[in-house]
Chain A
Amino acid sequence: KAGVTQTPRYLIKTRGQQVTLSCSPISGHRSVSWYQQTPGQGLQFLFEYFSETQRNKGNFPGRFSGRQFSNSRSEMNVSTLELGDSALYLCASSTEPNTEAFFGQGTRLTVV
């Protein structure tokens, strides 16, 4: 069974640009969550999607958004990039709430 797949693995963007990251969950998993990992703030919850609906959002500005498609694949978008958005963005999928989450390899975003 294939794991969680995140694309691309690495991205370099310029301040002010926007970026879209993609996540394909494990087959059969309907919940997809996104996390941001930085050396200073650690792992922080961005948002969670289930059946194409955003159920929960973390404490991030509106520049961070996402969506989920009918096949459970998810994308997150960051607009007007700032240097502080440089991070490892991790996607996790699970079957139902309060079950174990499986993480992808992450997308390393560098904003210059």
Chain B
Amino acid sequence: AQSVTQPDIHITVSEGASLELRCNYSYGATPYLFWYVQSPGQGLQLLLKYFSGDTLVQGIKGFEAEFKRSQSSFNLRKPSVHWSDAAEYFCAVGASLTGGGNKLTFGTGTQLKVEL
């Protein structure tokens, strides 16, 4: 079965500093990988996705992520964090199911706090 680990529960960075959120996954085949962001009381917004091809993927809001198969990782990065980036971030792996279709398995999330 697939699984996702986000080792950091909380991260605090200063505005303007760089950011890296870690994500490790376990999946037997080539994974579909996603990063979502959630503001309090809101749904999940897709930041970026990896299906195949270039291992460095660009997303919205200046985020990028790099897929490293050898390390089973898909870390999220941003060169300069803005106060509005404070939110909870979820890494997810998409897996095909025997009944057809797929489901997302999420990590436990990383709560990002931005200090002004």
Contact = CB atoms under 8 A, between A and B. Distances in A.
Nearest to B95: A98
Please classify the interface of chain B as helix (H, G, I), strand (E, B), loop, or mixed, using the class held by over half of its residues.
strand
B45 interface: yes
Given A42-B106, A42-B109, A50 B45 contact: no
Nearest to B45: A103
30 contacts: A33-B103, A33-B104, A42-B107, A42-B109, A43-B90, A43-B92, A43-B104, A45-B105, A48-B103, A50-B100, A55-B97, A55-B99, A55-B100, A56-B97, A56-B101, A90-B44, A92-B44, A92-B104, A97-B96, A97-B100, A97-B102, A100-B46, A100-B49, A101-B46, A101-B94, A102-B46, A103-B43, A103-B46, A104-B43, A108-B41
A106 interface: yes
Nearest to A3: B43
A82 to B, nearest CB: 23
Contacts of A108: 41
A6 to B, nearest CB: 8
A31 interface: yes
Contacts of B90: 43
B63 interface: no
Contact of B51 (A4, A45, A98): A98
Top 7 A-B residue pairs of the complex, sorted by shortest distance between their CB atoms? A43-B106, A103-B44, A103-B43, A55-B101, A55-B99, A45-B103, A105-B43
A58 B94 CA distance: 14
Contacts of A100: 34, 46, 49
